Amino acid sequence: MGSRTVDDAIDQLGDAESRPATVEEKNGGLLYILKEIHKDTSATIGLYIILFVTAVAVFTSVDYYLLDYAFAERFLYHPERDPTGGQRLLPPVGMESIYGPGVIEHPLGTDHRGRDILTRMIYGTRIAITAGFAATTIGLVGGTIIGAVSGYYGGRVDDVLQRFTEALYAIPFLVLIIAFMTAFGRDVTFAMVGVGIVSIPVFNRLIRSRVVSVREEEYIAAAKVAGAKDHQIILYHIIPNSFSPVLVQATLQIGVSILIIAGLSFLGFGAQPPTPSWGQMLAESRDFMLPAPMYSVWPGIAILITVIAFNLFGDGLQDALDPRTEN
């Protein structure tokens, strides 16, 4: 919040000359951004949750790909395999249900095949976070390139590219992703690509609107006079100077992508059983809503906290990058 007051002061001082002396500009690098975020409590909480969840995702991926769930089996349970003689649908510890009392070995209870819910929730992080980041990266890269090129050149190029992305907008995104997956396969990878493609227009619009104003800046003309080629100008000048709103949008979009992927899994188009994923856990728990209500609550909480964390961080990032956006 602090830098906002500096900017307000500068607005009133009205002298551009006094600006360099008084303001540490917003583009002062990563360290400066982190410092700004640190002043914002909710954004800091968001950041810590994201860091935690991401660390869990990285760790579980390592366990899955390299160790073949050796760690999970040693310290927890196997997240995919049905346990032999395991009790089904146990409630969390300290609760009772028709399936019996909760036991300390399964603190969050067990699912309909007797697998430990806590373990599956932890290992479900992998799909959620990978999907969120991968889908957003696809959208970010695609949208930024299309938006920057279209905004920089204008005219025909702009018309064609914008109509193309508007066409993407025109189709309901779930229908588009499901059609895409029906064509290419029901794998979670295609779900990520599909979600990535539908988020292209979001980034495209955002960056294009910035590029249109950045391209009129004199340093673009200066680069042209210096002899820079178009792709150099777009890469070195246009994109870096239009990027901060995109970065904010990307953070928020990760949350949205996680939700969409979870939704797809719920509909059966995401990660396929027995791979643990939050959405799929929700889908499976649906049939046991009455006898074991807590079964569906846990993955819901996981999704909720992760998405909220990304949103909090995104809001904080927005303030840090552009202190004037509020009010």
Binding site for other proteins (CB under 8 A): 2-3, 5-6, 8-9, 12-25, 27-28, 217-219, 221-229, 232, 236-237, 240-241
Residues in the chain: 327
- In this complex, which beta carbon is closest to other proteins, that of residue 9 or of residue 160? 9
- In this complex, which beta carbon is closest to other proteins, that of residue 22 or of residue 325? 22
Taking each helix axis from N to C terminus, what angle separates 41-65 and 293-321, rounded to the nearest 10 degrees? 120
- In this complex, which beta carbon is closest to other proteins, that of residue 14 or of residue 85? 14
- In this complex, which beta carbon is closest to other proteins, that of residue 244 or of residue 306? 244
Shortest distance (Å) from residue 136 CB to other proteins: 23
Strand partners, 100: 97
Shortest distance (Å) from residue 7 CB to other proteins: 9
Shortest distance (Å) from residue 214 CB to other proteins: 10
Residues 146, 167 contacting (CB under 8 angstroms): no
C-alpha 93/C-alpha 72 separation (Å) is 20
Shortest distance (Å) from residue 193 CB to other proteins: 31
Shortest distance (Å) from residue 223 CB to other proteins: 7
Shortest distance (Å) from residue 26 CB to other proteins: 9
- In this complex, which beta carbon is closest to other proteins, that of residue 276 or of residue 316? 316
Kindly report the backbone phi and psi dihedral angles of residue 256, in degrees, each rounded to the nearest multiple of 5, phi listed first: -60, -45
Shortest distance (Å) from residue 153 CB to other proteins: 15
- In this complex, which beta carbon is closest to other proteins, that of residue 2 or of residue 85? 2
- In this complex, which beta carbon is closest to other proteins, that of residue 13 or of residue 141? 13
Residue 18 CA from chain centroid, whole number: 39
Shortest distance (Å) from residue 240 CB to other proteins: 5
- In this complex, which beta carbon is closest to other proteins, that of residue 195 or of residue 246? 246
Terminal Cα-to-Cα distance of the chain (whole angstroms) = 12
Kindly report the backbone phi and psi dihedral angles of residue 106, in degrees, each rounded to the nearest multiple of 5, phi listed first: -120, 80
Kindly report the backbone phi and psi dihedral angles of residue 214, in degrees, each rounded to the nearest multiple of 5, phi listed first: -65, -35
